[in-house]
Structure 1
Amino acid sequence: MKRNILSCVLLAVMILSSCKKYLDEKPNKKLSIPSTVEDCQALLDLHTYINSFVNNAVGEVSSDNYYLTSQTWAGLTQQSYRDMYTWGEEIFYDNGPSQNEWSSMYTIVYRANVVLEVMDKVQKTELNNAAWDNVYGSALFLRAEAFSVLARNFAKAYTDNSQDLGIPLRMTSDFNTPSVRATVQESYDQIIRDAKASVPYLPQSSAHVMRPSKAAAYGLLARVYLSMRVYDKAALYADSSLQIANTLIDYNGASTTATFPFDRFNPEVVYFAQGGPTPLTNTRARIDSVLFLSYAANDLRKSLFFKSNGDGSYNFKGNYTASVSQFVGIATDEMYLTKAEAVCRNGDFQEGLKILNQLMVKRWKQGTFIPFSASNQSQALAIILSERRKELLMRDLRWIDIKRLNLENANISLKRILDNGVYTLPPNDNRFALPLPAKIVAISHMPQNPR
């Protein structure tokens, strides 16, 4: 199967090169774009290659799970990274990385749009039925997933009927169509439409976790609804995902001395995606000391997630990528935590803790875990949220969690301390919507996020 995926990626590279020729208005345009189900599958598989080698997880760079020393911060080679860390007015410079999260996500959107347009012209037959469905559903999923990444990082958190600035919803591959920023409400409406529309076409479980599936689509819907604070639907879709994929790793079987304790495609991974911006590598990013101390002595995550620097600080090594790159896909542990929180918020805090304990017993030294308990909803929710942060750190989820929780009056503020000063980010500050690339604003005349 891995060989087949690699073949698709290589084919996709050739197709992408042809697409560039098409965009450069070369002759014989009919030979320059995908025209078959196989072509479209290859083009979609390329998203994994792009996601693996670009600067993304800008939300995680902006969040509070880690810190940089003044020396490390000053030594970052790109001004982009230094400004991401301090919530600057510009985070994508012309002399920065050749691809950034904005460009890479819209590359995925463009590719998905190309595929959807081609597939509308490809006849579905008995012979290609399954492959046709998989390609069509995958394109919808990938567009929804890319839009969701953009919305959670470059727009304010969702509120009911929010007219705040959202993201450009590119729904066509035609570059001549002007980009216009939708509202936050319109942005999330489109994400939900695409994700829901993908479900009937996708298989229960994909041939490989690098490709979408029903379990992944349900997981994406659960993640998005949680970010919207629509808790009944977050619980519903987390449960739907877990009905298909609910395996948890028993951390008692993982090596605490391994450089990277978890396999790249381990049993918890429902949909694999990764990113690895420079500030988050485990030679630079140091885990927040208060966060590290919150892990109990018998909590195996304390030894599996972190590596001591010998000076009282710790780096993160617990990526579900078996590398320094961050896992930013969808996994079953996230679904347990999403369902636990949503069920608790919906009123059944005892059931929420029961769901949480199903996860936690797999994270503590065998025979030492005492199930969490609480006497009221507020206590239960505090426990669940604490474990959510400890379980899902460095997965590009903390930024949107801070934004949504501050709308629930969590009053989370952020602070950076460097030799050149102290930087603060108060709750609900405009800077929680990261700045669009200045070049894009100049070309499109779209409004920039206020600072």
Structure 2
Amino acid sequence: MKNKILKISILSVFTLGVLTSCERELDQVSYSQIPLDEAMTKEANFTQAINGAYSAIKGSGYFSTDTGNQIIVPDLTTDNLIVNPQGRQSNFTAYNWSFSSNNGSVTGLFTQAYFVISRANVPLKYISNLPAGTFRNNIEGHARAVRAAAHFDLVRAYCKIPTQSADANASLGIPYITEFNPLENNVTRNLTVAQVYDNIISDLNFAVNNITENPADKSKFSKAAIYGLLSRVYLYKGDYNNAITAGNASIALSPSVGARANFTNIWASNNVDGVLLKILNSTQENVTVGVAYQQGATATAGSIRSEYVVPKSLNDLYTTTDIRKSAYIRTASYQGSQRNHVIKWAFNTGGGTPLNVVEPKYLRTAEVYLNVAEAAFKSGNETLANSLLNTLKAQRYSPYVSVNLTGAALNAEIMLQRRLELAFENDRFYTFKRLGLTMQRTGEGPNVDGTGTASVVQTILPSDTRWQWPIPQSTINVTPAFQQNPGY
């Protein structure tokens, strides 16, 4: 049998039959690399494998490059962004909802998320090489947390969301890959959406009970981050009682939503106030996370050439007393045209990195507050929902006076604050989708006064099959049993 030779630091495999160029089967042992079976006997290599799984989250399809970047795709497919005619037209296929089986790479998430899963499964394959105890439990906990997170990112994008429609739970899910097997090419979609969610929750519950707590390290899952992610998963599942329980557990461990005084620096430096999980980035890695939005911005002033800009209607929802407006948006001219530009991912002045090289925030406490507030409202606990909203808003508006809302007004405020807080942060598309809402653009153009050419696509109905993104044809070509989504 051939000996599989891999260097742990560049382990690069993708299940479902797709292999990348860094993985090879060799007949001899390289002087610079060691067999995987031999390497995965040392604690240091398990730690390195876990680091590699986290690092893969910022790869192409997740948070790097422009096309398919999850920092922008969920916003440009909805009413949060308008294409700028002065830009390069990157991501225009997604903006125009022109999804098809042959351009599945328009959202490179499918390939990259399974790549992350493959990396997470490596230490799990060899976990029995470690003696029972705290270190082994911690490694398994982190691997299963990363695996669960990537599967959740996949299932919400490529499958129906349980709260989306009555038939969603029994509809077609995705494979839940639990074994490292890069040569597998006979994977089928044999799970329902409900079963995928059950697997995700099982992995996260194991992780939260077994990881070694290090809340100061925001680059890896802490207990607060896992509970926070569980609040998101349960909210999507429609299990509002558990969403509240998990969210409250997260908030108890990490209560700050990001103080108003620190908020701008959360985006413009390495400040982690209110951050539960971030993905490391540096000048050595030089991953241009923000390039999907713009080029040419400077930290102080100067012209900005944006790919997509903020519509007047959304810009106006941020009042002058809202710290998020200056942290997220800058109104500036490019070649004589005034636009509302997204600068949320442009600068890291604290770290001194180049333009657009920032650390993605995968999960923040503010979202957990919003998850619990929404779940509490739907469970009839308006007191809790108001309390959480007021705590969040007190750190966003100055001055701010607490209010107590009821009924439709309270629900509308929860949805408004979710839009304002998580704009340009991988949420808006999924909010429409999970609530089964019609995506309705406003008909505005890209200019600051709302004039200019509007999008051709203005309305997407809840019944549209394009809410479930297409499985890349390249995957089906090498894994023929893998079923394409209906409508493609």
Provide TM-score, normalisation by structure 1: 0.83
Cα distance, 1:261 vs structure 2: 4.9
8 Å contact from structure 1 (residues 205, 215) kept in 2: no
1:273 equivalent in alignment to 2:279: yes
Higher helix share: 1
**CA separation of 1:169 and 1:290: change in aligned 2, threshold 3 A:** same
2:342 aligns with: 316
Is 1:295 aligned to residue 330 of structure 2?
Answer: no
Separation (CA, whole Å) in 2 of partners of 1:363 and 1:420: 31
Once the 2 structures are TM-superposed, how far is the Cα of residue 201 of structure 1 from its aligned partner?
A: 1.1
- The residue type paired with residue 256 of structure 2 is T
1:55 touches 1:101 (CA, 8 Å); kept in 2? yes
- Quote the sequence identity (%): 21
The answer on 1:76 being equivalent to 2:92 is no
Equivalent position of 1:425 in the other structure: 460
Distance in 2, matches of 1:263 and 1:372, equals 32
Cα distance change on mapping 1:243 and 1:85 into 2, 3 Å: same
Cα distance in 2, alignment partners of residues 424 and 179 from structure 1: 35
Q: Deviations over 1:350-393 (max 9, x none)?
A: 3211111111111112xx1122322x222111111110110011
1:277–1:187 Cα change, 3 Å:
farther
Give SS of 2:129's match: coil
Report the alpha carbon displacement of residue 320 of structure 1 after superposing the two structures with TM.
10
Q: Distance in 2 between matches of 1:212 and 1:234?
A: 18
Matched, 1:64 2:79: yes
- Distance in 2 (CA, whole Å) between partners of 1:180 and 1:15 is 25
In structure 2, stretches of 5+ residues that fail to align are 1-6, 14-19, 63-69, 281-287, 296-305, 349-354, 446-452
Which residue is equivalent to 1:89?
99
Cα shift readout 1:166-197 (whole Å, capped 9, x = no counterpart): 21222211233622113211221111111111
Deviation of 1:48 after TM superposition, in Å, equals 3.7
1:336 to 359, 366, 369: 369
| 1:73-104 per-position Cα deviation (integer Å, ceiling 9, x unaligned) | xx336xxx22222222337759x69x932121
Which of 396, 402, 407 is equivalent to 1:371? 402
1:178 is aligned to 186
Q: Give the Cα–Cα distance (whole angstroms) in 2 for the partners of residues 287 and 147 of structure 1.
A: 30
Q: Give the Cα–Cα distance (whole angstroms) in 1 for the partners of residues 455 and 229 of structure 2.
A: 40
Counterpart of 1:443 (choices 468, 475, 478) is 478
Q: Deviations over 1:124-178 (max 9, x none)?
A: 2xxxx33322211000000000001111111112146722222122221123362
- Establish whether residue 352 from structure 1 lines up as the match of residue 377 from structure 2: no
Alpha-carbon distance in structure 1 between the residues aligned to 2:279 and 2:311: 25
Instruction: For 2:364, give the aligned amino acid.
Output: A
User: In structure 1, the residue corresponding to 2:186 is in which secondary structure?
Assistant: coil
Looking at structure 1, the residues matched to 171 and 243 of structure 2 have their Cα atoms a distance apart, in angstroms, of: 23
DSSP-derived class of the 2:173 partner: strand
Closer, same or farther: CA 345–281 of 1 in aligned 2, 3 Å = farther
Partner residue in 1 for 2:9: 13
Deviation of 1:415 after TM superposition, in Å, equals 7.5
The residue number in structure 1 matching 2:117 is 109
The 2-side partners of 1:254 and 1:183 are apart by 40
Aligned partner of 1:215 among 220, 224, 248: 224
Partner in structure 1 of residue 154 of structure 2: 150
- The one of 111, 120, 125 equivalent to 2:128 is 120
Counterpart residue type for residue 260 of structure 2: Y
Contact kept in structure 2, 1:227 and 1:401, CA below 8 Å = no
Whole-angstrom distance in 1 between the partners of 2:317 and 2:458? 24
Distance 1:355 1:421 in 2: 38
Question: How far apart are the structure 2 equivalents of 1:420 and 1:100?
Answer: 23
Name the residue aligned to 1:7.
none
Tell whether the 8 Å contact from 1:320 to 1:327 is kept in structure 2 after alignment: no
Classify the secondary structure of the residue corresponding to 2:150: helix
Q: Is the contact between residue 414 and residue 425 of structure 1 (CA under 8 Å) also seen in structure 2?
A: no
Give the deviation of 1:420 after TM superposition.
Answer: 9.0
TM-score of the pair, normalised by structure 2: 0.77
Matching residue within 254, 257, 274 for 1:248: 257
- Give the Å deviation of 1:14: 4.6
Structure 2 residue corresponding to 1:264, chosen from 257, 262, 270: 270
1:130-149 matched pairs, under 5 angstroms: 130-149=134-153
Report the AA paired with residue 144 of structure 1: A
Structure 2 SS opposite 1:271:
strand
Deviation per residue, 1:280-314 (Å, 9 max, x gap):
34732211321111122211212222111245531
Query: Aligned letter for 1:69?
Result: N
Task: Tell which deviates more after alignment, 50-59 or 289-298.
Answer: 50-59
1:55·1:277 contact (CA, 8 Å) conserved in 2? Answer: no
CA 1:135 to 1:356, structure 2 compared with 1: closer, same or farther past 3 Å? Answer: same
Q: 1:207 and 1:392 mapped to 2: Cα distance?
A: 23
Q: 1:193 to 1:261 in 2, by over 3 A?
A: closer
| Number of matched pairs | 420
Contact 2:49/2:122 (<8 A) preserved = no
